[in-house]
Amino acid sequence: MSRLSVVFGGSRGIGRAVAGLLAQRGQRVVVISRNQEAAQATAVALPGADHVALSCDVSKEQEVQKTFEAIQKNYGTMRYLVNAAGINRDGLLLRTRPNDIVSVLHTNLLGSMLTCRAALRSMLGQGGAIVNIGSVVGMKGNAGQCAYSASKAGLEGFTRSLAKEVASRNVRVNLVAPGFIRTDMTAGLEQEEAGGGGAGGGGGGGAHTRIPLGRFGEPEEVAQAVLFLLESPYITGQVLLVDGGLQLAL
Ligand SMILES: NC(=O)c1ccc[n+]([C@@H]2O[C@H](COP(=O)([O-])OP(=O)(O)OC[C@H]3O[C@@H](n4cnc5c(N)ncnc54)[C@H](OP(=O)(O)O)[C@@H]3O)[C@@H](O)[C@H]2O)c1
């Protein structure tokens, strides 16, 4: 079985934490982000010696295609794919520029669809597992996050559908839906003041008081759930919330 794992959005935040856990499990990790230097810095800091850093914008089909061709040619067939690349452009819909809506959908939804499609070319032969990173906001919605919420809800439907398409070929596809996680994406949010669904932004009112566990999550705590789904041979088409109980409170 291949020990190659590919993590999109692996340079920072949740993706970097996933890359770290996979490296600890003996995987050779391909860390991918638009910023090559940041991906490289993460790759060299991982446990183990033979990790790889690549630059790719997931919203661009040709870049994704070329990236997977390079991975297949230079590093072989992958076992695990994690889609943690994502952006937010929060704001009320009427104040959101169409270009920003397109960017969010292209990165968060289309990007993951393109990477899954490219990965399947090799995974269908030997099996494998994919985890997409969604959001609680995709499940419940949040004022000020229409585009982001739509992208994550779409990703959930995509994950469930793809899981049904490829299960017979021993490829599993699951989704982790985080709540508020402490990363660059939420760096501007004051825990005392932030509100409404987390997952990269929000509207009004007291996030920490709405999280039953009373704090933001850490990227490593999401990574644990990602690893669990990657390694669980009888789970596919599922959504696993990692939100400190936030969903209960929404
Ligand atoms: N933090 C939260 O509270 C939270 C909650 C729920 C869900 N999520 C989701 O979890 C995922 C990771 O978020 P995070 O908080 O870890 O964010 P982050 O710290 O901002 O990291 C985002 C990562 O995605 C990469 N990226 C962004 N756009 C990309 C593109 N077009 N092509 C390739 N890579 C791209 C970034 O690198 P470059 O900028 O160099 O490309 C970076 O590695 C996202 O899908 C996010 O929506 C986060």
Instruction: Give ∠ CA 15-82-28 in degrees, rounded to 5.
Output: 85
pLDDT at res. 247:
77
- State the total domains in the chain: 1
Percentage, residues of the chain above pLDDT 90:
87
DSSP string, 151-212: HHHHHHHHHHHHHHHHGGGTEEEEEEEE-SB-SGGGTT--TTT--SS-SS---SS-HHHHST
Q: Is the CB of 183 under 6 A from ligand 1?
A: yes
Q: What is the mean pLDDT of the chain?
A: 93
Residue 124, phi then psi, degrees to nearest 5: -60, -25
Helices H / strands E in the chain, number of each:
10, 7
Say which residue the tokens 């959930």 belong to. 156
pLDDT tens digit sequence for 119-160: 999 899 999 999 999 999 999 999 999 999 999 999 999 999
111-126 and 61-75 are packed helices; what angle lies between their axes, rounded to 10 degrees? 30
Q: What is the CATH number of the domain that holds 24?
A: 3.40.50.720
Closest-CA residue, ligand 1 atom 1, reads: 181
CA 103–ligand 1 middle distance (angstroms): 13
Q: Is the CB of 33 under 6 A from ligand 1?
A: yes
pLDDT at res. 207:
67
Q: What is the mean pLDDT of residues 102-126?
A: 97
Residue partners of 203: CB distance under 8 A and separation at least 6: 142, 143, 144, 145, 195, 196, 197
pLDDT at res. 222:
99
pLDDT score of 90 more than 70:
yes
Closest-CA residue, ligand 1 atom 17, reads: 185
pLDDT tens digit sequence for 155-207: 999 999 999 999 999 999 999 999 999 999 999 884 544 444 445 444 445 66
pLDDT tens digit sequence for 62-81: 999 999 999 999 999 999 99
User: For the whole prediction, is pTM greater than 0.75?
Assistant: yes
Residue 221 lies in domain: 4-249
Indicate the residue type of 237: G
Q: What confidence category does residue 208 fall into, taking pLDDT thresholds of 50, 70 and 90?
A: confident
pLDDT at res. 250:
61
Ligand 1 closest atom vs CA 216:
3
* Residue from 174, 176, 161, 84 nearest 129 by CA: 174
pLDDT at res. 221:
98
